[in-house]
Amino acid sequence: MNERYLQILLQLVKNRGNILRLVNAGLEHIKIAELIAWAGKENLIIKKNNSIQITPKGKERLKELNRINKSNWIKPEDKSRIEQIDINAIFVPRKDELDLD
């Protein structure tokens, strides 16, 4: 199962959220149903009193997924990076690179 979708599902169950977040993430309704069924089989969620609740195993898995995915929260912007120059080199930008307005 896709860990990103599983993380979203567990967060939704924990916070009593709406599946619209999974739809916006790119899942179709049939895939959401399959994900819920799979999470139930893995004992990550349970149906109790006409609602779906997260199990202690599901809470642990969510903590693990949150730890794993924190590195993807902010990605470095690679397009603005320039090569490192020598410490004694003098950098003179081209005229069209300057924004003097």
pLDDT digits (tens, 9 = 90+) for 14-52: 998 888 888 988 899 999 999 999 999 999 999 988 889
pLDDT digits (tens, 9 = 90+) for 40-98: 999 999 998 888 999 999 999 999 888 876 655 666 677 777 788 888 988 888 888 77
In the chain, how many domains are there? Answer: 1
78 located within any domain: no
For the chain, give the secondary structure using H, E and C: CCHHHHHHHHHHHHHCCCCHHHHHCCCCHHHHHHHHHHHHHCCCEEEECCEEEECHHHHHHHHHHHHHHHHHCCCCCCCCCCCCCCCCCCCCCCHHHCCCC
18 located within any domain: yes
Which CATH number do you get for residue 11? 1.10.10
**Percent of the chain whose pLDDT exceeds 70:** 90
61 located within any domain: yes
> What does pTM read for this prediction?
0.66
